[in-house]
Chains A and B, each alone.
Chain A
Amino acid sequence: MTNKNIISKLKYNLFKIYNKIGGMGIFLGLVIILYLITLIINPNKFILSLNNSIKLFLSLTWIFIMIFLLMIIIDLFINKNKINKFFNKKNNLFSWFFIIIAGIISTGPIYMWYPIIGELKEKGMPIKYQVAFLYNRSIKIPLIYPMIEIFSSKVVITLLIVMIIFSIINGYIVELILNYNKKTTINNKYNNNK
């Protein structure tokens, strides 16, 4: 067998593995390799990390269930028309208010919300609101009191107000960049086809 054949066979097998386990499985695989390296270098840190991970995973179970149920509810009752009606109004002050409050009161780690945002995105939720929701997720009501204890109310209130304003600014900037990229790609394709 020639070198070329071996390489193409290897590529094919890697592609098959990638298709079977997907990008998410590969990420988990890499993390497991890191754990195995830690186990060899420092078994104590390996056990501590694994214990903490199991505890965190168990504490997040109810959020997993909640997110799963929310995904079903969105799929069942929210469609593209409803999203368009809600988020694409001329006066979108209420939409901004809603998305900021939703971001602030949502619980659990940010990555748990990606599937929900993905579901809403598929149904037409504009980019700026997706960004603002994810940004406002960093403001956590239960953590405001300990934050005030550490940094003073003056610092916390000022920071939170600036953060809310920047969640909107960031939303517009990201939307502008992504829409500009989209337009440029479409124009380039059009020019190439000409």
Chain B
Amino acid sequence: MDLKIKIKNVFKKNLNAFKNILPMFIGIILLINLIKVIFGNNFYKNILTNNTFLNSFILNGLGSIMAGNAMISYIIGQEMLANGIVLFLVLVFILAWVNVGFIQLPAESLILDKKFAITRNIIAFLSNFLVAGITVLILGWI
């Protein structure tokens, strides 16, 4: 096939695909900013308990719901550390923020496949405990 026609066809096909995905991107951007504005950066203080095990689930869940630039999660993590929250919990929260995407789940399901998106996010959610735990263990040995 003539390269020009091939490029034209590919351009058209991808433009249509992109047009279909665009509403989802706009939706995610709008939702991320709404959540950020409504909850602010100190939202975690009111929901933590005295139980580290329970807190790890709470922060993993919270990090999974929150989205946006990873830098925000580091800043919140810094504040958590300053407030006496242990490193393990802070790492779980940061890992959930960057690895598990509850808000992006509809987009991931529609574009990549529902089963893939759900399995990937569940495994990422569970592995956050292990990654944070192993990191803290290694740091203890060093």
- Interface of chain A, helix or strand or loop or mixed? helix
Interface string of B101-136 (1 = CB under 8 A from A): 100101110111001100110011001001100110
| Chain A residue nearest to B91 in the complex (CB) | A159
Interface bin, chain A: 35 or more
Residues of A within 8 A of B99 (CB): 135, 138
Asked if A170 and B124 make an inter-chain contact with CB atoms under 8 angstroms apart, the answer reads yes
Residues of B within 8 A of A134 (CB): 120
Asked if B70 and A135 make an inter-chain contact with CB atoms under 8 angstroms apart, the answer reads no
Q: Is B65 an interface residue (CB 8 A)?
A: no
- In the assembled complex, the Cα of A64 lies from the Cα of B26 at a distance in Å of 12
Q: How far is the CB of A77 from chain B (nearest CB, A)?
A: 10
Asked if B37 and A49 make an inter-chain contact with CB atoms under 8 angstroms apart, the answer reads yes
Q: A34-B34, A158-B135, A178-B116 are in contact. Are A28 and B98 (CB under 8 A)?
A: no
Interfacial residues of chain A within 11-28, with CB under 8 A of chain B in the complex: 21-25, 27-28
**Can you give 25 contacting A-B residue pairs, CB < 8 Å?**
A24-B27, A31-B27, A34-B31, A50-B30, A52-B36, A56-B29, A56-B32, A68-B15, A75-B13, A110-B101, A111-B25, A111-B28, A114-B111, A115-B17, A115-B21, A138-B95, A146-B74, A151-B77, A155-B139, A159-B131, A163-B95, A174-B119, A174-B120, A177-B123, A181-B115
> Other CB < 8 Å A-B pairs besides A75-B13, A117-B112, 19 of them?
A23-B110, A24-B27, A24-B106, A27-B24, A28-B26, A28-B30, A31-B27, A34-B31, A35-B34, A52-B33, A68-B18, A72-B11, A111-B101, A115-B18, A130-B112, A146-B74, A166-B127, A174-B120, A177-B119
**Which 7 A/B pairs are nearest by Cβ-Cβ distance?**
A138-B98, A28-B27, A24-B24, A114-B111, A52-B33, A28-B23, A53-B33
